[in-house]
């Protein structure tokens, strides 16, 4: 298993968190992992499920969010290669705080909770490395919450596109092609589908983005960044 999974090492190192880990910790995570494949719409875990360890996305993407009692979706993030997730329950031992669902066929590296606990019991200094992952996610969450509260709708849309395309501040690899429906994106920015669609169409008319079925392609990062700052004619 170890030799077959080490072929993913260079891919995992495209994410700053993993690349910054001590080599021996990288080795441990890879050598104690297994591969897991999810089909489109298959659930990795639901809010309230027990924790079974950490996951790294090697291909495809996961939607992170939850569904309220009224059926309304709250989409927090769409994570792609090579994001790691699951560290919150590693720290507090509590159930999963949200749902994780595949939005396309998705390949995952899974490090079981038993292997992680054994490692941290024997080498407590590695807790800091996992804390850095959680701190990075928390920082992005704060920035998104601030944008939702303070930015006008047009800037909010542009800003969130930049966050996703930029890999959530390094949580996963940067991307210009965002596999996300407009309905899901509207949920993410807490705007109506109609408003979100109009704002995306405005960006498309300026050739800042290209809209396709189930995806948003960033064509001009500089102008999208200007739009996020209110420096455009949206």
Same domain? 180 vs 90: no
Residue 141 within any structural domain of the chain:
no
Which residue stretches of 20-172 are H helix? 23-31, 87-92, 113-122, 127-150, 153-165
Same domain? 125 vs 33: yes
- 3-state helix vs strand vs coil in the chain, percent to 5: 45, 20, 30
Same domain? 119 vs 183: no
Rounded Cα–Cα distance for residues 171 and 140 (Å) = 9
Rounded Cα–Cα distance for residues 92 and 175 (Å) = 32
Same domain? 186 vs 111: no
Same domain? 188 vs 120: no
Rounded (5°) CA angle 59-60-65: 125
Q: What is the pLDDT of residues 61-112, one digit of tens each?
A: 898 988 766 667 778 888 888 999 999 999 998 999 899 999 889 999 999 9
Residue 187 half-sphere exposure, CB side, CA atoms within 13 Å?
Answer: 18
Question: Which of the listed residues 106, 133, 160 is the one where a domain comes to its end?
Answer: 133
Same domain? 55 vs 160: no
Could you tell me the residue range of the domain that residue 82 belongs to?
2-133
pTM above 0.85, yes or no: no
Same domain? 162 vs 122: no
Bridging pattern class, strands 62-67 and 106-112: unpaired
The pLDDT-based confidence of 2 (bands split at 50, 70, 90) is: very low
Which pLDDT value is given to residue 70?
A: 67
148 within 8 A of 44, measured Cβ to Cβ: no
Instruction: For residue 99, count CB atoms less than 10 angstroms from its CB and return exposed for 0-12, middle for 13-18, buried for 19 or more.
Output: buried
**What domain count does the chain have?**
2
CA proximity to 73, closest of 201, 198, 220, 189: 189
Which pLDDT value is given to residue 1?
A: 43
Residue 24 within any structural domain of the chain:
yes
Residue 138 within any structural domain of the chain:
no
Residue 140 within any structural domain of the chain:
no
Q: What is the pLDDT of residues 19-70, one digit of tens each?
A: 999 999 999 999 999 999 999 999 999 999 999 999 999 999 898 988 766 6
Same domain? 126 vs 182: no
């Amino acid at each position: 298993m170890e030799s077959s999974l080490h072929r993913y090492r260079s891919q995992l190192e495209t994410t700053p968190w993993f690349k910054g880990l001590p080599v021996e910790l990288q080795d441990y995570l890879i050598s104690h992992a297994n591969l897991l494949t999810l089909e489109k719409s298959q659930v990795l875990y639901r809010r309230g499920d027990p924790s079974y360890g950490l996951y790294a996305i090697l291909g495809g993407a996961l939607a992170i969010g939850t569904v309220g009692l009224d059926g309304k979706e709250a989409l927090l993030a769409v994570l792609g290669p090579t994001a790691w997730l699951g560290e919150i329950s590693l720290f507090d031992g509590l159930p999963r705080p949200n749902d994780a669902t595949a939005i396309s066929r998705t390949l995952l590296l899974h490090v079981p909770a038993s292997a992680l606990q054994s490692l941290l019991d024997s080498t407590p200094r590695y807790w800091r490395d996992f804390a850095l992952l959680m701190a990075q996610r928390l920082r992005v969450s704060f920035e998104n919450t601030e944008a939702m509260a303070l930015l006008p709708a047009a800037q909010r849309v542009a800003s969130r596109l930049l966050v996703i395309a930029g890999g959530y501040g390094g949580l996963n690899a940067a991307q210009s092609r965002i596999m996300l429906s407009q309905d899901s994106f509207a949920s993410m920015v807490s705007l109506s589908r109609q408003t979100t669609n109009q704002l995306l169409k405005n960006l498309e008319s300026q050739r800042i983005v290209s809209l396709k079925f189930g995806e948003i392609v960033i064509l001009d990062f500089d102008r999208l960044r200007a739009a996020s700052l209110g420096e455009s004619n949206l």
